[in-house]
Structure 1
Amino acid sequence: MGRIPPGAPQLRDVPELTNAAVESARANPGIGCLIDRVYPGRPLLISFGFNDWNRVPNFEFFGRTKRLEARFGIRFNRLLIRDVANAWYHRGVPGLGAHVDEVAATLRSLIRSIGPSEVITIGQSMGGYAAIMFGMLLATDRIVAFGPLSHLNPSEAILYGDRRFLPVMEALQADPPKSAYLDLPQLGEALHYQGELHVIFGTHPGRDDGVSGNLDAIHALRLARLPSVTLFPYPESDHPVVHWLIEHHQIDDLLASRLVPDPPVNEPMPAASTAGTS
């Protein structure tokens, strides 16, 4: 399902997503959001895809959360969202809105229609920024962010030598979107965000030169001033911490510890398709 109108009553009739459907949707840049079969009263996971400079960004955490369902005998509701413009979700999402506030309004309507027990946002890198930004705007119960930036301020980025995503920051400054949230700690304080914020990040500088610092650690420490923040540093990983966790066979257990209800509610599961790797 691509374009989702606010408050759509047909959400309860949405079919279950498959790996083939997710992969097919990736090739269509006009699809910014996919919704899985709805289970009222179960947790809702809203995942945000990370940036991809070479092709259309992917939808994330579908296959891995399907495996969690099979492992623990639970069900999740799922919204899979991506930013085809690679603009840290500030230029809108096809089918959801043209700018941040509009996307957030559509998501609020979808949450009301789904009726979940709790709402969790999750993402890595660009998706991690979106998970925090929208998690705060939607007052979600929990945010799980892998290697997120904490701001999109080009002057501050230059001050700390963080030029990784400077062109994105400068483009947003030169052509401001209708709504923008460029400093996440400030946003959390302004909204008095009370949900859990889990920040998973690598602390390895990426170069063994004895001089380089870790930029993700700087962003994590900026976020640490907010209440209910838990930091999960990984000294052997640099920015792509999800890749490191996958390579070291730790990602599934970490996701289980952050996403699965405690204790998990065992329910009869529908026949599940084979889960993918994302």
Structure 2
Amino acid sequence: MSLSIADLPPLDNRRVKTSTDDVLVDRVVAGDILVIAFGFVSWETRPDFDFYGRLKKLEQLSGRHINKILVRDSGNSWYHRRVDGLGAHPDETAASLRALIDAIRPAKVITIGQSMGAYAALMYGLLLEADQVLAFGPLSFLDPAQALLYHERRWLSVIRDLAAKPPPSRYYDLQALGLSRAGALPDIHLLFGTKPDADNTKEAVNLDAMHAHRLALMGNCTLYPYPYSGHTVVQHLIDTRRINALLARIIMGVELAEEERVVTPDWHGWIADNLRLGGAPDELIAILEHHGFSHASSFAAVTAAAR
């Protein structure tokens, strides 16, 4: 890096979108929190950096600066092979990230990611002894035998490739990695959908829920199940306007007012139908809240329909 870490210019949307690098570091303010964000998989194009826009929004809402390191795995190898600018395998990448953390001197280190990025957030959060981890829909293992045992075939080609050509350092079971840690674990937040994976099924089968409960056995984990989301739980939280308040509360300890959503005519019809069929008002309110409507608007809509 040609510039001193203290002299780095601030990132902007254009650079984040057009950069050919695998790692970007935003303007540094020593003593502020640091968020290391890991990108998710992309098969058709190079993976994007993730959470930059959300973190900028969080800065605006909180009035506080956030140090940021943005990382992506251009090879879609669940951060086990080369990440240009950081390392050729997890231990090398962790060492480079540790050096950046030492140079930034943050008050707190947080790792975050979704799907493939969630695996990295957990793996590097544990390796770096981060203060906090936010993982949206993570796998808990990259082991072919366990994948077949649990019918986890979504990324089986990647899992088999890593087994056939293992990198010099590897962490194929995050539960085992967490249980092997001698010190205190990070404050781990696991966010996942619990909607059945297959459409039109009557079975309550969701692989992300299985992985979350495996990871919870490490300890120090808070589970956030979302019954109306599948694997893309971040998009669900965006669609239901809950992502900003959730990130503000977990990352910054700031409580934001609920984003108001108007209960639409379709939902009013759904409320009326369910009340007619014997649905309990409290349950209907809870379902509306799961879809991102505030408690106040949910309560008002159900109460009005029940009259």
Instruction: Answer yes or no: same fold by TM over 0.5.
Output: yes
Bigger drift between 221-230 and 42-51 goes to 221-230
Q: Which amino acid in 1 is paired with 2:187?
A: E
Aligned 8 A contact 1:200 1:232 in 2: yes
The CA RMSD measured in Å over matched residues stands at 1.5
TM-score scaled by length of structure 2? 0.80
Matches within 5 A, 1:1-278: 4=1, 10-25=4-19, 28=20, 31-192=21-182, 193-206=184-197, 207-211=199-203, 213-261=205-253
Higher relative contact order (CA 8 A, sep 6+): 1
Instruction: Report the Cα offset of residue 209 of structure 1.
Output: 1.3
Per-residue CA shift, 1:184-241, capped at 9, x if unaligned?
Answer: 0110111134220000000001323113610000000001112210000000001010
Unpaired segments of 5 or more residues in structure 2? 257-307
The answer on whether the counterparts of 2:110 and 2:133 sit within 8 Å (CA) in structure 1 is yes
Q: Distance in 1 between matches of 2:32 and 2:54?
A: 17
Structure 2 distance, partners of 1:205, 1:114, is: 42
Q: Is the 8 A contact 1:48 1:122 kept in 2?
A: yes
Larger radius of gyration: 2
> SS where residue 176 of structure 1 aligns?
coil
Task: Please tell me whether the aligned partners of residues 36 and 71 of structure 2 are also in contact (alpha carbons under 8 angstroms).
Answer: yes
Distance of 2:222 and 2:7 partners within structure 1: 37
Please tell me whether the aligned partners of residues 9 and 113 of structure 1 are also in contact (alpha carbons under 8 angstroms). Answer: no
Count of aligned positions: 254
The SS at the match of 2:112 is strand
Residues 248 and 255, structure 2, Cα contact 8 Å, conserved in 1: no
Q: Structure 1 unaligned runs (5+)?
A: 265-278
TM-score by length of 1: 0.89
Give me the identity figure in percent: 48
Structure with the higher fraction of residues in helix conformation: 2
1:51 positional shift: 0.3
Report the residue type matching 2:147 in the other structure.
A
The residue type equivalent to 1:196 in the other structure is D
Inter-CA distance 191–141: structure 2 relative to 1 (3 Å threshold): same
* Matched-pair contact (CA < 8 Å) for 1:121–1:143: yes
